[in-house]
Amino acid sequence: MITSLKPCSRPLQLTLWGDFVGDPGAMLEAEVQAGRHPIVAVKDCRVGDFNGKTLSTLNSSTVQVDPDIPAAGQLRAWCELCPSETSGLQADLQNASL
């Protein structure tokens, strides 16, 4: 599970299932453990409301790491301007399958 932050919002949790655990999951875990905070874009996922908002990948999901889109650049700029708000990000990637 990846815990993330969005500007002006509460933490958001993304759970990677199936093939997403290995790719990009393993790379995301290594990035976070190295102190970097990659931007993750997810399309077509399940949205839940368990202890805050949660996202879960589906077989049909698309997951991109550090995508080259304007919204990712805006989020990166916010992260760099507000490092105290992003210092608590964690990755807890568990080997889970559907």
pLDDT attached to residue 90: 45
**What is the domain range of residue 23?**
2-90
47 lies in some domain: yes
Q: Residue 91 belongs to what H/E stretch?
A: strand 90-91
Average pLDDT over all residues of the chain: 77
78 lies in some domain: yes
97 lies in some domain: no
Q: pLDDT above 90 covers what percent of the chain? A: 32
Q: Which phi-psi region, left, alpha or beta, contains residue 20 (left: φ > 0; alpha: ψ -120 to 50)?
A: alpha
pLDDT at 66 over 80: yes
pLDDT in tens, 32-65: 888 887 888 899 999 998 777 889 999 999 999 9
95 lies in some domain: no
Q: Which residues contact 41 (CB under 8 A, 6 or more apart)?
A: 63, 64, 67, 69, 71, 72
**The domain that contains 19 carries what CATH number?**
2.40.50.140
**Stretch 63-82: mean pLDDT, rounded?**
84
How many separate domains does the chain show?
1
98 lies in some domain: no
Bigger pLDDT: 85 vs 67: 67
